């Protein structure tokens, strides 16, 4: 029962912070540091894969009509030319993250070691990105090759713990003048292939072979991540349309400053 409760908590954290612009990785690192490794044990790789699969699946459900249209266009080579262009934009946006993930895999892993000062400083970066979106140019533009690649670079940078992936990509899109609706749609759809690709890589590399799964915690955590992820994703789309990213900027700023103070007092 204790393991199931922990899995549900992890699933809720993952589901909420994966889509809201507050950095899921940053919050997990802060939680482990503040509460201690005994109170918030590190997730197994298998649990991590399950939680990410669940949040990716919730995105698929939210955008099921869009994904169906895109897949149909690719398979039949017919349909709206904008859909085909959108698919190419997604592929282009993946290049920076794939490059960084493959080339700097070991260095990235070393950053996830409860380095609270790094996480807190990156949360301040996230806060800054979100806060100044109100000064972004009029968001009436469409995605193009250049903007898709630049947004992809933001996604790659957001691998750093404390930088929100959704916050970085949506903010970058808005700064480039992309419409708010398209910015949110692109931000959430562009990450789906990366998540499934990372899962496939872990399986093919045999990284999951050493895990002896306890099925109930995995199911509980995955279900919690899926449900909270579904509502968080839907909520975030409305937030972007309503220009309310500044609320999350204030939140990230407060948490970032608190983390720096906590790290300074207790040391990391």
- pLDDT single digits (tens) 134-150: 777 776 778 999 999 99
Q: Is the pLDDT of residue 212 over 60?
A: no
Q: Is the pLDDT of residue 202 over 80?
A: no
Least confident span in 181-190, 196-205, 208-217: 208-217
Q: What is the pLDDT of residue 42?
A: 43
Q: What is the pLDDT of residue 31?
A: 64
Q: Quick one: pLDDT band at residue 187, thresholds 50, 70, 90?
A: very high
Residues of the chain with pLDDT > 90, as a percent, come to 40
Model pLDDT for residues 26-78, shown as the tens digit of each residue? 876 776 666 554 444 444 567 777 888 899 999 999 999 999 989 888 888 77
Q: Is the pLDDT of residue 268 over 80?
A: no
**Mind giving me the DSSP string for the chain?**
-HHHHHHHHHHHHHHHHHHSTT-HHHHHHHHHHHH-TTTSPPPPHHHHHHHHHHHHHHHHHHTHHHHHHHHHHHHHS-S-HHHHHHHHHHHHHHHHHHHHHHHSHHHHHHHTTT-HHHHHHHHHHHHHHHHGGGGSPPS-B---HHHHHHHHHHHHHTTSTTS-HHHHHHHHHHHTTB-HHHHHHHHHHHTHHHHHHHHHHHHHTTTTTT----HHHHHHHHHHHHHHHHHHHHHHHHHHHTT-HHHHHHHHHHHHHHHHHHHHHH--
Q: Are 217 and 6 a contacting pair, CB within 8 Å?
A: yes
Q: Is the pLDDT of residue 189 over 90?
A: yes
The pTM for the full model equals 0.86
Residue 114's region, left for phi above 0, alpha for psi from -120 to 50, else beta, is left
Q: What is the pLDDT of residue 37?
A: 47
Least confident span in 9-13, 25-29, 192-196, 250-254: 25-29
Q: What is the pLDDT of residue 145?
A: 94
Q: According to the per-residue pLDDT averaged within each range, which of 25-29, 93-97, 196-200 is highest?
A: 93-97
Model pLDDT for residues 157-180, shown as the tens digit of each residue? 998 888 999 999 999 999 999 988
Q: Residue 199: name the closest of 55, 90, 49 by CA.
A: 49
**What is the domain count for the chain?**
1
Q: Distance between CA 164 and CA 23 in Å, rounded?
A: 4
Residues spanned by the domain of 143? 2-266
């Amino acid at each position: 029962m204790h393991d199931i409760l922990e899995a549900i908590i992890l699933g809720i954290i993952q589901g909420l912070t994966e889509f809201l612009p507050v950095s899921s990785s940053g919050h997990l690192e802060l939680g482990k540091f503040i509460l201690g490794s005994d109170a918030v044990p590190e997730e197994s790789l298998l649990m991590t894969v399950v939680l990410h699969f669940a949040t990716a699946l919730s995105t698929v459900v939210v955008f099921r009509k869009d994904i169906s249209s895109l897949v149909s266009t690719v398979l039949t080579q017919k349909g709206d030319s904008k859909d085909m262009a959108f698919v190419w934009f997604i592929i282009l946006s993946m290049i920076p993250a794939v490059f960084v993930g493959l080339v700097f895999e070991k260095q990235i892993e070393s950053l996830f070691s409860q380095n609270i000062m790094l996480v807190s400083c990156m949360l301040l970066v996230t806060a800054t990105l979100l806060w100044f979106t109100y000064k972004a140019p009029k968001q009436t533009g469409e995605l193009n090759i250049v903007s898709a690649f630049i947004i992809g670079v933001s996604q790659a940078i957001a691998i750093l713990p404390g930088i929100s992936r959704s916050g970085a990509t949506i903010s970058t899109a808005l700064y480039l003048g992309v419409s708010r609706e398209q910015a949110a749609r692109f931000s959430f759809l562009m990450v789906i292939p990366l998540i499934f690709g990372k899962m496939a890589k872990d399986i093919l590399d045999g990284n999951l072979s050493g895990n002896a799964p306890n099925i109930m915690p995995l199911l509980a955590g995955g279900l919690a991540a899926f449900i909270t992820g579904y509502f968080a994703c839907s909520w975030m789309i409305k937030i972007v349309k309503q220009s309310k990213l500044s609320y999350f900027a204030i939140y990230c700023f407060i948490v970032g400053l608190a983390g720096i103070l906590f790290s300074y007092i207790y040391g990391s």
